[in-house]
Amino acid sequence: MFHKLKSIFSNLQFQKLFVYGFGQLFNLVTPLLIVPYIVGICGEENFGKVAVGMALSFFLIVFIDYGSDLVGVREISINRNNNEALQKIVMISYMSRFLILLFILLFSVGLFLTIPYFKAEKTLFLFGLPILIGQFLNPTWFLQGVENVRWITFSNIISKIIYLLGVFLMVKSASDYIYVNFLWGLGMILANTLMLILIFKKHSFSFYSVTTVEITKFLKNDFSMFSSQIFVALQLNTPVMVLSFFGNNLMAGQYKIVEQIIVIFKTYIFLFFNYVFPKVCYLLERNPTKGIRNWQLYNGFNFVFVLFGMLLFYFFSYDVVSYFNPTNRYVLSSLLNVAILIPILLAVSIPLKQLVLGWNYKRFYVRITSVMVILNLLAIIIILPYYKVYGVFYSLIASEVLMILFYLICIRKKLFFKENA
């Protein structure tokens, strides 16, 4: 028994998972520390404003990433042993995305200074722009591809510590809510700049001019995956903006408090996807049978963990929402009991998404994601007057159920064949 445990703990993959999990613990703990503090100091309505500003920045991040979190990871993973190819991928990606960053920053400033809805809180929205700069610098996609989880962990810890300290030091009154998103972006910029420097030194990368042809080719080749991610970002970030625009900031704040509770597990699921995805892509390419076994093992344990966590949230929902200092605790408790279905469904749909992308069904993924997100947003707008915040969660749950069904339809033949090979 001792030797078996020793072999498990000495396994390189287990060690990577442990290090990665330790780093992501900061992503899970940060909301538990920050949200009660912000709600207590600034109130639910101002917290709703912060949530809208951050949601908008996170939506614009998709343009900055331009599919690097999926296509980039896959390309880095496949070429991990070819340093020359890695340098070319990195340089073309960053130069192309830099042009996108400049355009998005100029567009955003114009939007915030002219459109009445944004102009009313222009300082808040302008202070969210550092998030875009920080994401542009973010080399996590590269580190995921080469499976350097230590540096991902290190970067994440630095970023979150800067954010936490900044909020606790600068947010002292209700009007200080405008600084929250700025501090998030500042942490990203400092941490990601350091990681980029270390990457260039370790891999002996050098700067060189990227041609217009290479940039054009990059933008053209990755456009379909990028466009699909726009719809994913819409699904993740627009509900709180829709609530604010068609409802009010209090409703947005209530939604965000409940969403911030379940986002602990949603974040865990997405980060788990990021950790496993490069390995799944690599094994499906080189050893499909082993790839399926690894996929089943990792995601099976992951589903059980998420299910157990959601059951705890269900039985202790009132105590959970009370921790976040809201005034409408019974309402939020009832909302949480509905919302816990979302992480459970994500723990099924995200693993299926790994296989869809790992087997390179990009066209199917783009089409089905686009259609489902549009239908989801329309459903939210239609049922919002009748079901208020509940309507958002009902729509998101229905969307995830349909995504699971469509993913299974797409991969059923290949998955069945691989499992019985």
Q: What is the pLDDT of residues 182-193, one digit of tens each?
A: 999 999 999 999
Tokens representing residue 224 in the block: 């379909």
Among candidate residues 83, 51, 67, the one with its CA nearest the CA of residue 258: 51
| The dihedral sign for the CA sequence 401, 402, 404, 408 | positive
Whether 6 is in a domain gets the answer: no
* DSSP three-state, residue 80: coil
pLDDT of 411 > 60? The answer is: yes
Q: Are 272 and 296 part of one and the same domain?
A: yes
Cα distance between residue 308 and residue 117, in whole Å: 41
Whether 133 is in a domain gets the answer: yes
Q: Are 34 and 132 part of one and the same domain?
A: yes
Cα distance between residue 40 and residue 45, in whole Å: 11
Whole-number pLDDT of residue 295: 79
- Average pLDDT in the 371-378 region? 87
Q: How confident is the model at residue 135 (pLDDT cuts 50, 70, 90)?
A: very high
Tell me which of 266 and 123 has the higher pLDDT: 123
Among candidate residues 250, 258, 331, the one with its CA nearest the CA of residue 47: 250
Whole-number pLDDT of residue 20: 64
Whether 4 is in a domain gets the answer: no
Whole-number pLDDT of residue 18: 66
Whole-number pLDDT of residue 1: 45
Report pTM.
0.75
* DSSP three-state, residue 47: helix
Q: How confident is the model at residue 122 (pLDDT cuts 50, 70, 90)?
A: very high
Which of 221, 254, 278 is a domain's end point? 221
Residue range(s) defining the domain that contains residue 30: 15-221
Whole-number pLDDT of residue 313: 92
Q: Are 395 and 268 part of one and the same domain?
A: yes
CA distances from 27 to 19, 265, 281 (A): 14, 10, 25
Q: Are 116 and 239 part of one and the same domain?
A: no
Whether 2 is in a domain gets the answer: no
pLDDT in tens, 262-301: 887 887 787 777 667 777 777 777 777 777 777 778 788 8
pLDDT of 8 > 60? The answer is: no
Whole-number pLDDT of residue 325: 67
Whole-number pLDDT of residue 416: 60
Q: Are 267 and 377 part of one and the same domain?
A: yes
Q: Are 70 and 148 part of one and the same domain?
A: yes
Which burial class, exposed, middle or buried, applies to 215 when counting CB atoms under 10 A from its CB (0-12, 13-18, 19+)? middle
Apex CA 312: angle with CA 309 and CA 318, to 5°?
130
pLDDT of 12 > 70? The answer is: no
Q: Are 263 and 380 part of one and the same domain?
A: yes
Tell me which of 325 and 208 has the higher pLDDT: 208
Whether 7 is in a domain gets the answer: no
DSSP 210: P
Whether 96 is in a domain gets the answer: yes
Whether 194 is in a domain gets the answer: yes
Cα distance between residue 275 and residue 201, in whole Å: 24
Task: Look over the chain and give the mean of its residue pLDDT values, rounded to a whole number.
Answer: 85
Count of domains for the chain: 2
- Are 101 and 64 contacting, i.e. CB atoms less than 8 angstroms apart? yes
Range scoring the smallest mean pLDDT among 109-113, 126-130, 270-274, 302-306: 270-274
pLDDT of 359 > 50? The answer is: yes
Whole-number pLDDT of residue 71: 73
Q: Are 207 and 241 part of one and the same domain?
A: no
Tokens representing residue 344 in the block: 């459970």
Q: Are 252 and 400 part of one and the same domain?
A: yes
Which of 189, 221, 253 is a domain's end point? 221
- Average pLDDT in the 74-94 region? 86
Whole-number pLDDT of residue 9: 46
pLDDT of 157 > 80? The answer is: yes
Which of 165, 195, 221 is a domain's end point? 221
Q: Are 193 and 288 part of one and the same domain?
A: no
- Average pLDDT in the 81-101 region? 90
Which residues are within 8 A (CB) of 99 and not within 5 positions of it... i.e. 6 or more apart? 215
Which residues are within 8 A (CB) of 218 and not within 5 positions of it... i.e. 6 or more apart? 92, 93, 96
pLDDT in tens, 376-401: 889 988 998 889 899 999 999 999 99
Q: Are 277 and 183 part of one and the same domain?
A: no
Query: How many percent of the chain have pLDDT more than 70?
Result: 90
CA distances from 304 to 172, 184, 185, 356 (A): 40, 32, 34, 22
Whether 1 is in a domain gets the answer: no
- Average pLDDT in the 327-351 region? 90
Q: Are 267 and 168 part of one and the same domain?
A: no
Whole-number pLDDT of residue 23: 65
